[in-house]
């Protein structure tokens, strides 16, 4: 494992996606930078969490990683292969190695198909088993995700949301993938069910050695699942670091705002918060794209775009004033409720480091 | 302190494809002036139907079959729709999850805010309507309010639309505001802004708020009291800090352990096994018994009585309350002795 870990499973470099958007019938096409140059690596057997609000480009990145959208610029390398150079047969093989699990298990399962058929469809397409073996494989997959082996004869509407999400996971596992792209896998589920699915995904990862790219707007979910976290805003990384570093020592004001929003003890409701809403990517702000909402913005932030720079061991921040920004996620908290002490409870994180 | 709204033993039936089901079963709630009550539960737990029942806004398939809703000395359950219409929007406001669906896309923001004053106060003078509308838009911190008055809902972002919806509902300074998942459709940084706005308006007007949510972290940040709903029943209620620091009902305990937070991200979540029972297949005993590790025959056979302590401010519907309270007190003593 040590030698394998030296080589990242997934390497994304300078990835960009630009859509041409036309206003009205005769309007001029203008570029929309959905993903404006992101670079990251995912080590095999680990989870990389992409966190961001709507419009941050996280789903566009997922689409490019699944070959559903060609990148406008940049390169994606998965298991040593450049995705932009894949031939037809290689593409097919790639799809069996990287599988998606999507947000809404209500719309991602065909309501007219039985569960067994939904799960064995990828096997049929990739001609992975003799006809006779499908039933046994479906049963095995159902049990792997904690469903009764005979659930294959049922229809999606007979299952609850959590059960349906288990079916989508079983379908994704059918071809024996090395990697799963998890796009908001629990945000459509009830709170008491979310933990079941998150734990299932963790167990499967440990058991099958899977690599995950997890996309979520919920920093707590990302922190629970990931070894490394990238914070996206308007198609760019604001901060990338190991999970413990992001949660305990976030340096970007945007990351801190995300932390304050999910931290019940932050008292952030009574403190100052980030102003406004995410601007349109059609017309991104000058300089640092976060400056119009940033409580610390200065003249330099409006004029000069900060690049990602390493301010600690494998901790990258795109902020001119990362060192001056107060630590912890809620600098303005005026509440008397002190944040819980966090550092001593961190589990040791011995994942290999990467160099975006 | 007297509650501004007190619902007693509400029971609501819904007619659906699975026949007639009891969506809200014997629910009692108290809401106090200047305080926020969190109504926490998963989808299908009956939290939204409880609110609609109190306001007489149930769909035609639903009926409030028992209980009373005391609001300022009157029982809302006994009032006619016409009488309720005079109260809703003036004395009680209601904010829904997605402002896009609660605002009319064909009318300007100004028209929709002005309607409140036209309907409830009979103001017809256009200049006066405009002046008052600008005033409430400023109250909810919409910049350049005068110019935005002639905009349509689609020209606003999600957060701004929710502000408009709040403006409409607080325009006449209601005593009670019912918010049904008001921030669920919004981005996290915007959620905070809306919560802060609601908090400020509450302090200015000493308004009571019922805050329906599935988000425990948000409830803990924003609310004073909590009622936890499960399968159409309230299973535990009390001041939110006390309930969350010292939960007694196994469902409350389970929920708090099942949610990832930034404090516990390094330790494994404890998932609640199984799922909520369908309303058409409600078990005779405690609704949570099938998922509860400490359930016994009594739990499965008979719905638990209320156990109350702290002068009734803490209530739990669980047969095992006494032993659970003692066990948790012993645990805290042990923790205190150790550190």
Q: Which helix (H) or strand (E) holds B191?
A: helix B188-205
What's the predicted TM-score (pTM) here?
0.88
Residue of B221, B222, B229, B287 to mutate, interface with A, max A Cβ within 10 Å: B221
Strand order in the sheet with B19-31: B19-31, B5-16, B62-71, B74-75
User: Cα distance from A342 to chain B (closest Cα, Å)?
Assistant: 7
User: Cα distance from B317 to chain A (closest Cα, Å)?
Assistant: 19
Q: Is A227 on the interface with B (CB under 8 A)?
A: no
Residue of B nearest to A227 (CA): B266
Q: Cβ contacts (< 8 Å) between A331 and chain B: which residues?
A: none
Q: Cβ contacts (< 8 Å) between B276 and chain A: which residues?
A: 190, 192
Decide if A191 and B258 are in contact by the 8 Å CB cutoff.
yes
Decide if B276 and A190 are in contact by the 8 Å CB cutoff.
yes
Torsion-angle region of residue A268: left (phi > 0), alpha (psi -120 to 50) or beta? alpha
Which pLDDT value is given to residue A27?
A: 77
Alpha helices by DSSP H, chain A: 2-5, 58-65, 88-97, 115-125, 134-144, 161-173, 191-208, 219-225, 243-249, 253-262, 299-303
Contact criterion met (CB below 8 Å) for A305 and A314: no
A34: helix, strand or coil: strand
Which pLDDT value is given to residue A265?
A: 54
Decide if B271 and A192 are in contact by the 8 Å CB cutoff.
yes
Alpha-carbon distance B141 to B157, whole Å?
Answer: 14
Decide if A346 and B266 are in contact by the 8 Å CB cutoff.
yes
Mean pLDDT split into 10-residue runs, chain B, 339 residues:
94 90 94 97 92 94 95 95 94 86 92 94 94 95 91 91 94 96 88 91 96 91 95 96 93 92 88 88 92 92 92 92 83 79
Task: Give B251-282 as a DSSP string.
Answer: HHHHHHHHS--SSSTTS---PPPS-PPPGGG-
Q: Is A162 on the interface with B (CB under 8 A)?
A: yes
Decide if A277 and B276 are in contact by the 8 Å CB cutoff.
no
Q: Is A157 on the interface with B (CB under 8 A)?
A: no
User: Cα distance from A221 to chain B (closest Cα, Å)?
Assistant: 6
Q: Cβ contacts (< 8 Å) between A218 and chain B: which residues?
A: 188, 260
Decide if B261 and A247 are in contact by the 8 Å CB cutoff.
no
User: Cα distance from B221 to chain A (closest Cα, Å)?
Assistant: 5
User: Cα distance from B84 to chain A (closest Cα, Å)?
Assistant: 33
Q: Is A274 on the interface with B (CB under 8 A)?
A: yes
pLDDT in tens, chain A (356 residues): 444 446 899 999 999 999 988 877 777 888 888 999 999 999 999 999 999 988 899 999 999 999 999 999 999 999 888 988 888 888 888 998 999 998 888 888 999 999 999 999 998 888 766 666 888 999 999 999 999 988 999 999 999 889 999 999 999 999 999 999 999 999 888 888 999 999 999 999 999 999 999 999 999 999 999 999 999 999 999 999 999 999 999 999 999 988 887 775 555 555 556 788 888 888 889 999 999 999 889 999 999 999 999 999 999 999 999 998 877 543 333 333 333 333 222 233 333 333 43
Contact criterion met (CB below 8 Å) for A201 and A225: yes
């Amino acid at each position: 494992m040590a030698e394998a870990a030296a080589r990242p499973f997934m390497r994304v470099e300078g990835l960009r996606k630009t859509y041409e958007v036309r206003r009205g019938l005769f309007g001029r096409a203008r570029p929309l930078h959905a993903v404006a140059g992101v670079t990251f690596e995912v080590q095999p057997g680990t989870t990389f969490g992409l966190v961001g609000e709507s419009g941050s480009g996280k789903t566009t990145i997922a689409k490019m990683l699944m070959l559903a959208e060609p990148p406008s610029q940049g390169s994606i390398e998965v298991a040593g292969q450049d995705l932009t150079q894949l031939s037809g047969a290689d593409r097919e093989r790639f799809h069996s190695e990287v599988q998606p699990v999507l947000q809404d298990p209500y719309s991602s399962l065909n309501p007219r198909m039985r569960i067994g058929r939904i799960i064995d469809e990828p096997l049929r397409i990739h001609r992975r088993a003799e006809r006779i073996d499908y039933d046994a494989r479906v049963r095995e997959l159902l049990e792997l995700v904690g469903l009764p082996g005979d659930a294959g004869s049922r229809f999606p509407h007979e299952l609850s949301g959590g059960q349906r999400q288990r079916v989508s996971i079983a379908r994704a596992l059918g071809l024996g993938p090395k990697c799963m792209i998890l796009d908001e896998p629990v945000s459509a589920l009830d709170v008491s069910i979310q933990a079941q699915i998150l734990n299932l995904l963790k167990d499967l990862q440990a058991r099958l050695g899977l690599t995950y790219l997890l996309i979520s707007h919920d920093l707590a979910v990302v922190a629970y699942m990931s070894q490394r976290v990238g914070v996206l805003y308007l198609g760019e990384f604001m901060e990338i670091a190991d999970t413990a570093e992001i949660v305990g020592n976030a340096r970007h004001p945007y990351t801190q705002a995300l932390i304050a929003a999910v931290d019940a003890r932050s008292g952030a409701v009574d403190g100052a918060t980030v102003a406004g809403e995410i601007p349109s990517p059609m017309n991104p702000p000058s300089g640092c794209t976060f400056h119009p909402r940033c409580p610390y913005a200065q003249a330099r932030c409006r004029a000069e775009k900060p690049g990602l720079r390493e301010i600690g061991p494998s901790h990258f921040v795109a902020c001119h004033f990362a060192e001056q920004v107060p630590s912890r996620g809620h600098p303005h908290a005026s509440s008397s409720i002190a944040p819980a002490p966090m550092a001593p409870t961190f589990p040791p994180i011995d994942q290999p480091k990467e160099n975006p | 302190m007297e509650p501004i709204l007190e619902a007693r033993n509400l029971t609501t039936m819904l007619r659906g494809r699975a026949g007639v089901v009891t969506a809200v079963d014997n629910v009692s709630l108290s809401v106090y002036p200047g305080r926020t009550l969190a109504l926490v539960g998963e989808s299908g737990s009956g939290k939204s139907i409880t609110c609609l029942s109190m306001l007489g806004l149930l769909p035609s398939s639903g009926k409030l079959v028992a209980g009373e809703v005391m609001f300022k000395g009157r029982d809302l359950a006994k009032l006619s729709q016409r009488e309720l219409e005079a109260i809703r929007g003036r004395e009680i406001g209601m904010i829904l999850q997605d402002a896009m669906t609660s605002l009319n896309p064909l009318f300007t923001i100004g028209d929709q805010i002005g309607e409140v004053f036209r309907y409830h106060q009979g103001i017809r003078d256009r200049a006066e309507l405009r002046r008052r509308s600008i005033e409430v838009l400023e109250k909810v911190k919409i910049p350049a309010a005068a110019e935005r008055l002639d905009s349509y809902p689609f020209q606003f972002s999600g957060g701004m639309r929710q502000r408009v919806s709040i403006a409409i509902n607080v325009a006449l300074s209601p005593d009670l505001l019912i918010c049904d998942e008001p921030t669920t459709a919004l981005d996290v940084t915007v959620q905070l802004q809306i919560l802060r706005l609601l908090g400020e308006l509450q302090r200015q007007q000493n308004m009571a708020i019922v805050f329906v949510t599935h988000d425990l972290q948000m409830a803990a940040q924003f609310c004073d009291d909590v009622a936890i709903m499960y399968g159409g029943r309230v299973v535990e209620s009390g001041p939110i800090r006390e309930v969350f620091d010292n939960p007694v009902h196994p469902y409350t305990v389970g929920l708090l352990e099942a949610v990832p937070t930034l404090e516990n991200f390094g330790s494994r979540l404890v998932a609640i096994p199984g799922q909520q029972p369908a309303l058409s297949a409600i078990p005779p005993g405690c609704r949570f018994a099938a998922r509860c590790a400490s359930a016994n025959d009594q739990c499965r056979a008979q719905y638990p009585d209320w156990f109350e302590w702290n002068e009734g401010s803490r209530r739990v519907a669980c047969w095992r309350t006494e032993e659970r309270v003692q066990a948790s007190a012993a645990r805290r003593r042990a923790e205190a002795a150790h550190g």
